[in-house]
Amino acid sequence: MQERAVLQRTVDLWKDLHHASEDIQAMIELLEEEDDDSLAAEIEPEIQALSKKIEQAEIKAMLSGPSDFNGAILTVNSGAGGTESQDWAEILQRMYLRWGDRNGYKAEILDTQYGEEAGIKNCTIIFKGDFAYGYLKAEIGIHRLVRISPYDSNKRRHTSFASVFVYPEIEETVEVEIKEDDLRVDVYRASGPGGQGVNTTDSAVRLTHIPSGLVVQCQNERSQHKNKASALRVLKSRLHEMEMEKLDEEKKEQEKQKKKIEWGSQIRSYVLHPYQMVKDLRTNVEKGNVDAVLDGDIEEFIEAFLLADKTAS
């Protein structure tokens, strides 16, 4: 039913584009008959707006993988480097939250492990909406930041790394069996920035799936029951993804890509000093407005990756 609803909205989108195209064609025919300059000025922005919508629809049409239309579960992990890398991980967390907001996705932070001084060690965010996974899978990899560190009294330049991985959110109707004997449940007190406790009860939950070794934790909610339900949802999505990778060659290739992720194999560099530039090393797309990128304007990087990936396949 979820897939049907997505497909229906896609069909409706193409119908709307077709109708808009017909309207512009009618305006052009009227312009040719009346030779009215004011009408020509009115048509130009309509054509530009339609062209942009068509480009976006063409990108969306490439998202034909079995999980592309699903929501997404995104994780950010800080690399080596302590506070500097943890601050960079928090900047990336905000960037993806802003991207979700800009594109109409409902984003919810399921878990955040804060650094001792500043930033975060890791976080897990769920994005709900059509094709969230299809788009965000373009962000899988190592992200590198070069800047003058605000935590260095000598104002030296530092390089920081953080890794991003994305899983498709599975539908609640998909059955993923998890035996009670295979699950270890640990509860603890949720912590905030600097390691301080944020509530007085052991509401945070950590789930360990013993056969696979997967560990998932959630502390966003004040209720232990809600945190356990959220953690279980993430665990089921990750187990389902692992199973799909065994059955699907495309997923196997994605897993190989994941295994190759290591410091030094970054997909994108964000340089704030000595010049300002964000460059995707897979597609060579560059943007000079770093502030806009860190505020969630990453569509150009995502679209370029999807186009290149489609061409390569």
Unique residue bearing structure tokens 């953690």? 231
Reported as a single tens digit per residue, the pLDDT across 261-278 is 445 568 999 999 889 999
Lowest mean pLDDT among 104-108, 233-237, 263-267, 293-297: 263-267
Q: Is the pLDDT of residue 122 over 60?
A: yes
Domain 72-169+265-312 has CATH 3.30.420.40: no
The C-alpha atoms of residue 230 and residue 76 are separated, in whole angstroms, by 17
Reported as a single tens digit per residue, the pLDDT across 162-184 is 999 999 987 655 567 788 889 99
Q: Are 88 and 122 in contact (CB under 8 A)?
A: no
Does this model's pTM top 0.75?
no
Query: What does the pLDDT read at residue 71?
Result: 93
* Average pLDDT of the residues in 254-259: 52
Domain 180-247 has CATH 3.30.160.20: yes
The C-alpha atoms of residue 254 and residue 126 are separated, in whole angstroms, by 20
- For the chain, which residues make up each domain, given as ranges? 2-61, 72-169+265-312, 180-247
Query: What does the pLDDT read at residue 98?
Result: 97
Structure confidence at residue 260 as a pLDDT band (50, 70, 90): very low
Of 262, 273, 82, 265, residue with least CA distance to 160: 82
C-alpha distances (whole Å) from 52 to each of 46, 248, 275, 301 are: 10, 34, 31, 16
Structure confidence at residue 259 as a pLDDT band (50, 70, 90): very low
User: Helix 249-259 crosses helix 224-247 at what angle (to 10 degrees)?
Assistant: 110
Of 290, 299, 269, residue with least CA distance to 100: 299
Of 312, 298, 3, residue with least CA distance to 131: 3
* Average pLDDT of the residues in 209-225: 88
